[in-house]
Amino acid sequence: MTADNSCGYHPQISDLGLLHDGSAGRILLVAPQPKDLNLSHEYRVLHSPDHEVSLRPGIYWAKVNGEMNALVIDGQAVPGRTPMPPEQVSLEEADESSLGVIGMDWLESWWNEALLIDAPKFPASGGAISKSTGRDTLIMRRLLTGPRWSYVIRQDGRTVTVSESDLEPIPDVPAAESWLRETPASPEAFSAMVTRAKLNKGVTDTIFSYGVTKTIINPFQFKPVLKYLDSAMERMLIADEVGLGKTIEAGLLWTEMAARGQANRVVVVCPAALVPKWQREMNERFGFDLEHYRTADLRRVIERLEAGTLPQNFAVVVSIQTFRTFEGLQQMEELNFALDLCIIDEAHQMRNQGTASLKLGLFLRDVSGSLVLLSATPLNLGNDDLLSMMRLIMPGEIETRADLDLRIDHHEALQALRRSATNPKVSNAQRLQWLSQIASARMGRALRERAAFKKLEELLSTDEYSVVSAPVLRDACNQLHGLSSAITRTRKTEVHTARSVREAVNAVVEWTPEEQAFYDAYVDWLRQIAQVRNLPPAFALQMPLRLASSCLPATARQVLGSEKEEANDGDGSPTVVRGGSLLSAEVPPAHVQTLARRLAGIDTKFDAFSKALRGSEMTGRSALVFTFSRNTLSYLCRKLSQTHRVAALHGGVTPDERESIMRRFRTGEFDIVIATRVASEGLDFEFCSLIVNYDLPWNPMEVEQRIGRLDRIGQKSDKILILNFSTPGTIESRILEKLMARVGVFEHSIGELEPILAESFESLNELVVDFRLTESERDRRINETIAAVEQGKADAAELDEHSSKLQAEDQFGINSVADRISRGRYLGQIELAHLVADWARLRGGSVKVDVKSKQLRVDVSQEMLLKIVDWRRSEGQTSAEVSRVERAGRAKTPLVMSLDAEEARVGGGSLLNGHHPLVRVASRDFKPHHVPRFATLRATADADCPSGTYLLALAAAGWSGLRSTSELWVEAVDLETGESRSLEAGALLMTSVAEGTLTASHSTALYPNADLYAEQLLMDLEERRHSEQDRRQSENDALILERKVRAEEVFKNHQRSIRERLVQATSQTVHMFEGQLRRAEERRNDALARIAQCAHSSLDLENLALLQLEVI
């Protein structure tokens, strides 16, 4: 430290610490160009080439009354000159020869000529706020160019250089205890802060996909979402029965991940016939645009991977048939092709060893972060379907049947314990025996350390047991289930408690002699064609024969050449045949044409249909009429439009037209809608209670799917009328009626039979049209099919009994959805609208939230538009909604969106949800150091939280461990009584935010002693953090132990199997088996290493805000 009132010389100009000794005076740098002297105040620079500098390099200084003045001679200003020894003298002793005095003379001489360098606003390293993004950045280095400062910063994963004017300082963050003294925020701003915290922190105790899709959602369909949130399970099998909406469940999971920014690259893989269905349902229900990729598109993916230009975001659907024959899978994997989410429909097709489908499944498993398999195949240990699918979703953990058995070794005892939950006759002694069996299982030593096991020990430690404890017991059993996080399966019997009654009315059509004669002659002609051409009967006859049974006048018109065959939309049969194309080259015999002409004006079937519609029970009901044939559809439209308001849905109707027809049908503008299967897929007709099967499909499951359009959650009528037409004179009527009756499709749902009876149903096509069969042979085949139906029913019942060993009881998932919704742990539409409105205010736009009509009107400002465009470019986002927002911004037209999922579903239009572009940008674009920290608001009391004044502390808790989570915590106190009200007031706050019902309090005055209560609440949050840290650490340790034990046991299974084969090995194969042993041990070691990486865990807590809440 230099003495005051002294001067001197310092030879090392790199040692600029000298300049900080004392208050800032005049500092002058003599150099060829300006340099950063690491000062926090202004200084000047003299351009040395313009002057003759006779001094040696170094620092010439004088400290007068605590003020430091200095002349810095840079070495490059006087090249070749060497520094002198250091010098320091007091001002009293200094003279004209003193170096400090000489330096000050030159400083005075040059000062006015020198370039002024303003004091830098930011240090050479540290933090700042980027004005363009509003986010924190890290300053890596400071640069001086002429008199201007610039900074090298780390921003969004990039290192860039920005001007000083592009940054602003990070303001000091006041202590949480002082937040009560801040200006109270508005309800909208406070709500937006909470919503941003939900979205940006990805809180796992909140459902982002609730109420934000344009479809009727049932609670059980959120079970995959809950498993994803609660267990961090990124791979799962959804094995619901047919007709329960596995596609919707996958869409909800995609919606959940998209709102969290975790589904940027998505691929759906499904059978080719289901590609249009996936495209339509994902678009109309969830707002996702799936692009259909074919082989050429997959080749372009490889080209983009090689060029490094593969988009950051894409959503595509590829057929299994296309993907499994694509030759570039290995190349894609080598080029690090990666997906965030892969959904495989009909996943049981990937079950067979050595097949291209299984190879595709393994490829998708290895390149996908999250993998979702959909299959209605029953959970059956007796076949390899389940094992094959488990290999895909639990690689390394389940590879063999022995590995699967290890997972469920304790399930028999666990199942017995779970079933006893509501049985008061079972003693706790018996329950403890089952618990002991669980502890003695191969995984027992790990299971004993789990919190759920200890909860069961505590629950059963006394002789008394109440069924009130049943939920606790069941939940604990579910947590100990070895496959609970990997499989979700729901059956219709579990969720449809009060279903509508199906009442079938069979309209038997008695053809006139003219009609019967034409039909018989037409069938004989078809038989002759098949015999002459030696064609398979099913191929030659199916479509013409079905049309004749469906609509005889349409067939007659084709025979006479007055009507062309229209494309059929199919009925779900495995073989959709274009038999009519065969007839186009044939000339109908003269007698067939003559009989066709005699049918002019005759249609007994339509007359019966028209009469039925006029019946008392049919009157006043909206009718949905199904047919397999577009020819029949066109005929019915022509006839019915004369007396009814009619619309048609077929494969040629555009999505916009479909939406318009559905909207108008719901509002009563149409009496009848005539539809084919393909056109009606994915549509909900729960407002309709009359279905007409104008022709019966040849597959009973198609009948089930037709009725399922109406018989679904939301059906208002207690009775669904099913009007079936059959014609005794047709060759298939006896077969179909007999089989339909035995299956029982018209009385109740048969979804559980489809996977079991699929092969039996497929054989019906040939059975109906194979005229090579004698009547006795045909009867025998019919009886065989009926026997298969009966056996299928028995198999279904047996599988139902045994499958519980493989699946956890998922009723807790349904209850968990209701519990989270009741506590406001979801994203609400009004809540999202307030977030968008808050962002619009920041960026010069305007928003009108109409709560009554549940609509959001956004005037997109130029600044908002620029932010949307920047986001699209940086994220690689392309979607219809992005385009819609940008068009509105450029055209300066209002953007109108619905804030109600049901209204959007019924009336069409855009729906605001968690992955909407406005929400995504609004959640990120804000001023993080100016967020609301305090508010005085008002909410409406509910049954749990009575009127009063409460103080709440809101915080974000983040747990990192084997199962990482993020949550919003609320601690609350009743300011009038001092009682803790954390659960009640916390639930009311979160519900009010989600529903958008928070309002400003009439008074902003603080309640007496609010500051003391605030300190206590913050302390309570910290105590809760410590308690939760200990609890979660204990459970994390138990899960780590469980995984270690399982890895060792799996290794032992593999080791035992290989050694058994090694005993029988020949000299040529022994090396192969020894290599397998080494690789098995390497996999075990790798698994243990990965597990060890998760051993460290921690719980951090970030205080967010304080709230004084007046509840009225």
Kindly report, residue by residue over 429-452, the tens digit of the pLDDT.
899 999 999 999 988 888 999 999
Neighbouring C-alpha atoms within 13 Å toward the C-beta of 535: 18
Helix (H, G, I), strand (E, B) or coil at 1083: helix
> What is residue 16's predicted lDDT score, i.e. its pLDDT?
80
> What is residue 1087's predicted lDDT score, i.e. its pLDDT?
84
> What is residue 573's predicted lDDT score, i.e. its pLDDT?
42
Helix (H, G, I), strand (E, B) or coil at 137: strand
pLDDT (average), residues 737-749: 58
> What is residue 794's predicted lDDT score, i.e. its pLDDT?
59
- Token couple for 827: 């994203």
- Whether the CA torsion 107, 110, 116, 122 is positive or negative: it is negative
Q: Taking 60 as the threshold, does the pLDDT of residue 749 lie above it? A: no
Of 747 and 320, which is predicted with more confidence? Answer: 320
Strand (E) or helix (H) holding 965: strand 965-974
Q: Taking 60 as the threshold, does the pLDDT of residue 755 lie above it? A: no
> Which range is least confidently modeled, 196-205, 286-295, 670-679, 728-737?
728-737
How confident is residue 493, by pLDDT bands cut at 50, 70 and 90?
Answer: low
pLDDT by residue (tens digit) across 931-941?
Answer: 999 999 999 99
* The model scores a pTM over 0.75: no
- In the chain, the percentage of residues whose pLDDT exceeds 90 is 45
pLDDT (average), residues 1056-1062: 83
R_g of the chain, CA atoms, integer Å? 38
Q: Which of 1015, 1001, 1022, 1004 is nearest to 187 (CA)?
A: 1001
- In the chain, the percentage of residues whose pLDDT exceeds 70 is 86
Q: Which of 543, 517, 488 is nearest to 729 (CA)?
A: 517
Q: Which of 629, 443, 531 is nearest to 1049 (CA)?
A: 443
Q: How far apart are CA 919 and CA 192, in angstroms?
A: 11
- Token couple for 527: 């038989």
Concatenate the DSSP letters of all residues of 1027-1072 into one string: HHHHHHHHHHHHHHHHHHHHHHHHHHHHHHHHHHHHHT--TTTHHH
With beta carbons less than 8 A apart as the criterion, state whether 917 and 880 touch: no
Give CA 67 to chain center in angstroms: 64
Q: Taking 60 as the threshold, does the pLDDT of residue 1061 lie above it? A: yes
pLDDT (average), residues 422-435: 89
Q: How far apart are CA 204 and CA 210, in angstroms?
A: 13
> What is residue 574's predicted lDDT score, i.e. its pLDDT?
37
Q: CB atoms < 10 A from the CB of 1027, how many?
A: 11
Q: CB atoms < 10 A from the CB of 638, how many?
A: 10
Which residues, in sequence order, are bridge partners of residue 859?
846
> What is residue 766's predicted lDDT score, i.e. its pLDDT?
59
> What is residue 901's predicted lDDT score, i.e. its pLDDT?
78
Q: What is the mean pLDDT of the chain?
A: 85
Give CA 280 to chain center in angstroms: 17
Q: Taking 90 as the threshold, does the pLDDT of residue 606 lie above it? A: yes
Contacts of 499 (CB under 8 A, 6+ apart): 711, 715
Q: Which of 484, 489, 488 is nearest to 231 (CA)?
A: 484
Contacts of 69 (CB under 8 A, 6+ apart): 25, 26, 27, 61, 62, 63, 104, 107
Q: Give helix 552-559 / helix 513-533 axis angle, nearest 10°.
A: 60
How confident is residue 686, by pLDDT bands cut at 50, 70 and 90?
Answer: confident
- Whether the CA torsion 194, 199, 202, 206 is positive or negative: it is positive
- Token couple for 1011: 């500051």
Q: Taking 80 as the threshold, does the pLDDT of residue 758 lie above it? A: no
Residue with tokens 């956890």: 808
> What is residue 840's predicted lDDT score, i.e. its pLDDT?
94
Contacts of 148 (CB under 8 A, 6+ apart): 163, 164
CA distances from residue 106 to 28, 30, 113 in whole angstroms, order as listed: 10, 10, 12
Q: CB atoms < 10 A from the CB of 289, how many?
A: 13
Concatenate the DSSP letters of all residues of 338-370 into one string: -EEEEEETTGGGG-STT-HHHHHHHHHHHHEEE
How confident is residue 579, by pLDDT bands cut at 50, 70 and 90?
Answer: very low
- Token couple for 496: 């449809």
- Token couple for 612: 């039925």
* b/e burial code for range 757-792 (CB count within 10 A of at least 16 → b): beebbeebbbbbbbbebeeeebeebbeebbebbeeb
Q: Which of 729, 841, 1087, 836 is nearest to 191 (CA)?
A: 836
Contacts of 30 (CB under 8 A, 6+ apart): 45, 46, 48, 51, 53, 55, 71, 72, 73, 74, 77, 110
Q: Which of 1107, 871, 898 is nearest to 1006 (CA)?
A: 1107
Q: How far apart are CA 827 and CA 116, in angstroms?
A: 55
- Whether the CA torsion 669, 215, 250, 375 is positive or negative: it is negative
Q: Where are the alpha helices (DSSP H) in 448-536?
A: 451-459, 470-480, 492-495, 513-533
> What is residue 580's predicted lDDT score, i.e. its pLDDT?
45
> What is residue 572's predicted lDDT score, i.e. its pLDDT?
43
pLDDT by residue (tens digit) across 621-668?
Answer: 889 999 988 999 999 999 999 999 999 998 888 877 887 898 889 888
- Token couple for 982: 């954390």
> Which range is least confidently modeled, 157-161, 263-267, 1094-1098?
1094-1098
